[in-house]
Amino acid sequence: MLNPATEKSLSKLMSKMLRHTPEDFRLVLDPADGSCPVDSLLKAIRAQAKWSWVSREDIEQVVRNSDKQRFVIEDDRIRARYGHSHDRVTYTPGEPPAVLYHGTNKNALPSILKEGLHPMSRQYVHLSEGTHFATLAGSRRGELVILKIDTRGAERLGVTFYFAGNEVWLADRVPPECCSI
């Protein structure tokens, strides 16, 4: 069993491999969903001298304990749920709750209320069903503000929402009239 510090460090490596630079680790991800066989990830991790001892159980522990449920294992394949900076991963459109939440920095609020939410350097705008994940995401950016997103109004304006799993929803954008404090 991994201690908390080692688990966090391995989670960061897995994020780098599955979300950001898989090619740096000779990891080939399925272009449709960003997944790869768990054994391929394990081999890529073990190729790093510091991580040569990692087991499949260690990977499963990271998946199970991730605070934001960043990873999922299905049919012996693993993928990051969201946050990819490599090829755009596609998700199936879904019907979100009437209100979703987005955590952001207070300094960004005037721009958001004027221009709406945009993915910036990400592929999608990340939203959550509750304030817990919105708080986790937004607290990294300074003084936290939680926005309420009117999903029905956004849908009327042409926004499509995608369910990424574990209370996380994605959108290409959210118009300013659908964002409130």
Predicted confidence at residue 44, as pLDDT, reads 95
Q: Determine how β-strand 168-171 pairs with β-strand 71-74.
A: unpaired
In the sheet where 77-80 sits, what is the strand order? 36-37, 77-80, 71-74
Identity of residue 60: E
Per-residue pLDDT of the chain (181 residues; tens, 9 = 90+): 999 999 999 999 999 899 888 888 988 888 777 889 999 999 999 999 999 999 999 999 999 998 777 898 999 999 887 655 455 566 788 999 999 999 998 888 999 999 999 987 677 898 999 888 777 776 666 788 999 999 999 999 999 999 887 788 999 999 999 999 9
Q: Are 164 and 93 in contact (CB under 8 A)?
A: no
What's the pLDDT score for residue 139? Answer: 66
DSSP SS3 for 173: coil
Contact 103, 139 (CB under 8 A): yes
Q: Dihedral (C-alpha) 76, 80, 84, 86: value to the nearest 10 degrees?
A: -20
CA distance 20 to 44: 14
Per-residue model confidence (pLDDT) at position 99? 97
Give the pLDDT score at 31. Answer: 78
All domains of the chain, ordered by start, with CATH? 4-80 (1.10.10.970), 99-180 (3.20.170.30)
Distance CA 28, CA 31 (A): 9
